Structure 1
Amino acid sequence: MQKIIFYTVIMLLSFVGKSIAQEKSFEERAKEIGNQIEMITKEEKKALKVEIEALDKQIIEGKISKEKAGELKLKIAEERASNIEIKVAIEEEKLNQLIQDKVDGKVKHTADSTIVRIGKRFVIRIENDTIDRKPKEYKERRTTSQFVFALGLNNLITEGENIEKSDFRVAGSHFYEWGITYNTRILKSNNLLHAKYGFSVMYNNLRPTDNRLFVKNGNQTELQTAAVDLKESRLRNVQLVLPLHLEFDFTPKKYSKRFSQDSTKTYFRTHESLRIGLGGYGGFNLKSKQITKYELDGDKVKDKQKGDFNTSDFVYGLSGYIGYGQTSLYVKYDMNPLFKDNAVDQNNISLGLRFDFN
């Protein structure tokens, strides 16, 4: 008689437990599983720490050698990792069953649109009774944006002359560039080819040698020796351009392990390996300004002369870069002459470093 009463009570408690569990929402039960997964990991790591500390104590007491302790630490670490894997697999199976119950309508959820985070490992998304269960992962976008900054040396290539005999200081003549680019993967299932486009502002500076400065003489712009001792002589051209490059990105594809019946998902990243960009740019010259500094009767003088200096209104050229990750070696060449009406063409060329920050 007592046994019959005992088993009856057990069956009633089991029935009540199942009823309570069924009354819980999908979100509540999923979070319980997530908490259990986290607890399993924490408990196993805590136990591993205690065992390692015990081995360290035995080393200090001379009961065991460091070599033997190292072997034992490796063994117990493997055992704890195996425990985590087995126990977590059980909880994941519960999660699979919970999802199936939701699909079969056996469990309710509290909203049409819900995101349930399962510890630090998974996320379940519910959208109008559609369930997507997957690990937290990089959200792939076919088009990404970057902030571009470049700097380096700037000079002119004069028709019929060697650049080594340039009229401009090599170290003193420099360029800066900043802008925004968009990077679009061209092929859906291959990461090699990208279209890279956007806008940039370029600052091209030229510092003449031999105490000279630029002088506008009719429709010609010439270098002439200054009447005073110049401390600074610099011509700056500021341009707004639209660059376009075909980029070869050798960043390997990534894999995101999906759970349940889904297969492994492939996705793509950019700017994580060798990159090569080939293309050009076109735009217009915003302004030209010559800055000179000198002393006159003991006073320091700084002159800023703004004008067109007969510079080309429109600019266009070729550019390319090669590098790894976000950093690359960068070269650009203006196909238009700097001074549009000069008898001898002079074309701007720049070489430096380029940074594409995602």
Structure 2
Amino acid sequence: MKTIVLYIAVITAGFIGLSSNAQTKTDSTEVYRVERRIENLNKEKETIKAEEREALKKEVEMIEDRLAKGEITLAEAETQKKEAARRRALNIENRISIVDSKIALLERNGLEGADGVGRIEINLGGDEDDDHQVFGVFYEKDEDRPVKYDRRTTSDLVIGIGFNNAIGDDQSLEDSDFKIAGSRFFELGVAWKTRVFKNSNWLRFKYGFSFQFNGLKPTDNRIYEENGDVTELVEFPLDLDKSKFRNDNLVFPIHFEFGPSKRIEKEDRIRYSTDNKLHFGIGGYGGLRLSSRMKYKFDDEDGDRVKEKVKGNFNANDFVYGLSSYVGWNGVALYAKYDLNDIFENDPNGLKNISLGVRFDID
């Protein structure tokens, strides 16, 4: 009994010490985070000045260009320059005032007062950098963090769906070995879009990764079979209810996207909107084949329904690359892609995958 009491006393003392150490660490962490936030906010003030001065420089250049073309008089140009300078000075004053208010809240109330919400933290040790814990859980609402003035990169969820087919050398879709309506593709991925030029959004660089699922339904009651190093379509001895071959790929698309956009300027941010604007993208992709499979259904000689699924290599090329393009309005586009690689190795027909469908870019 005495031993048990002793154990309890030791454990209790340990927890008290751990709690004390955790509280001390939390207090020091709080101070560290406040100092880091204030340091970042002070840097933001210099960024604000630089952004507004650069914007003023661009405005003045535009005014001088209009003056040189004779669109405005010298007096009008001077008036516009003064108005632009006054507006930019007020922007700097107002934006810095907002930042100073955030700093004052941090200095007076710490992170909790600045956020206006409570904080959840479980800190069981380890070094940390800003808001990242090595071990533990930390949540902090980021309402006090500054809005990024000019966000040049955005991200979208990409979904593509449509018709798929394959054509060989000196072959067209009219004499394709695959059903036009029955062969389909599906694509799912993530794309990032970065504005190429600092003060113009007519050209964007779009990149990311996608999973592509390319399905082919052979005509004339045939399935794919491997014959040594060659994969070929062979006629099935029984009547097929369904026959479908599919390649699954992981690819990394890269596109240059063109199109107009609307510049939206507010006191604390600049954004470029492509809503209700036509856009056009051209580029390509490269990646790896993940898997290949052949599925078919038929009734055997006893009348029983049989489903077969053969997953294998099928002598399919492991590396995938091709060209793709799209043209659309808002987040919907007509989408086409064409593989430059042959679907199968050692294929005398040089069969290549081709797709046409609809692409959705969801932000």
Shorter-chain TM-score bucket reads 0.5 to 0.7
1:336 corresponding residue in structure 2:
341
How do 1:1-358 and structure 2 match up within 5 A? 110-111=108-109, 114=114, 140-256=150-266, 258=267, 266-270=270-274, 272-296=276-300, 297-358=302-363
Deviations 1:93-142 (A, max 9, x none): xxx9xx79x99xxxxx94477479xxxxxxxx999xxxx9xxxx997521
CA drift at 1:353? 0.2
SS of equivalent to 1:340: coil
Confirm or deny: 8 A CA contact 1:242 1:283 kept in the other structure: yes
- The CA RMSD measured in Å over matched residues stands at 2.8
Deviations 1:261-318 (A, max 9, x none): xxx9643134552111110000011010000001111211100011111111100000
Amino acid at match of 1:194: R
1:24 corresponding residue in structure 2:
none
1:304, 1:189 → 2: CA distance? 54
SS of equivalent to 1:164: helix
Amino acid at match of 1:298: G
Deviations 1:37-63 (A, max 9, x none): xxxxxxxxxxxxxxxxxxxxxxxxxxx
Confirm or deny: 8 A CA contact 1:244 1:281 kept in the other structure: yes
2:275, 2:288 → 1: CA distance? 29
Confirm or deny: 8 A CA contact 1:140 1:268 kept in the other structure: no
Structure 1 residues 272 and 142, CA gap change in structure 2 (3 angstroms): farther
Confirm or deny: 8 A CA contact 1:180 1:200 kept in the other structure: yes
CA drift at 1:199? 0.5
Amino acid at match of 1:232: K
Identity fraction in percent: 42
Structure 1 residues 112 and 295, CA gap change in structure 2 (3 angstroms): same
Amino acid at match of 2:222: R
Amino acid at match of 1:276: F
Equivalent residues, number:
235
1:115, 1:284 → 2: CA distance? 46
SS of equivalent to 2:178: coil
SS of equivalent to 1:215: strand
Structure 1 residues 265 and 236, CA gap change in structure 2 (3 angstroms): closer
Amino acid at match of 1:150: G
2:80 corresponding residue in structure 1:
none
Q: How does the TM-score come out when normalised to structure 2? A: 0.60
Q: How does the TM-score come out when normalised to structure 1? A: 0.60
Structure 1 residues 244 and 322, CA gap change in structure 2 (3 angstroms): same
Deviations 1:68-108 (A, max 9, x none): xxxxxxxxxxxxxxxxxxxxxxxxxxxx9xx79x99xxxxx
Confirm or deny: 8 A CA contact 2:151 2:271 kept in the other structure: no
1:231, 1:126 → 2: CA distance? 62
1:126, 1:350 → 2: CA distance? 47
Confirm or deny: 8 A CA contact 1:230 1:292 kept in the other structure: yes
Amino acid at match of 1:185: R
1:191, 1:218 → 2: CA distance? 53
Structure 1 residues 305 and 126, CA gap change in structure 2 (3 angstroms): closer
SS of equivalent to 2:174: helix
1:47 corresponding residue in structure 2:
none
Confirm or deny: 8 A CA contact 2:149 2:269 kept in the other structure: no
1:184, 1:313 → 2: CA distance? 30
Larger radius of gyration: 1
Confirm or deny: 8 A CA contact 1:219 1:342 kept in the other structure: no
CA drift at 1:249? 3.4
1:216, 1:265 → 2: CA distance? 59
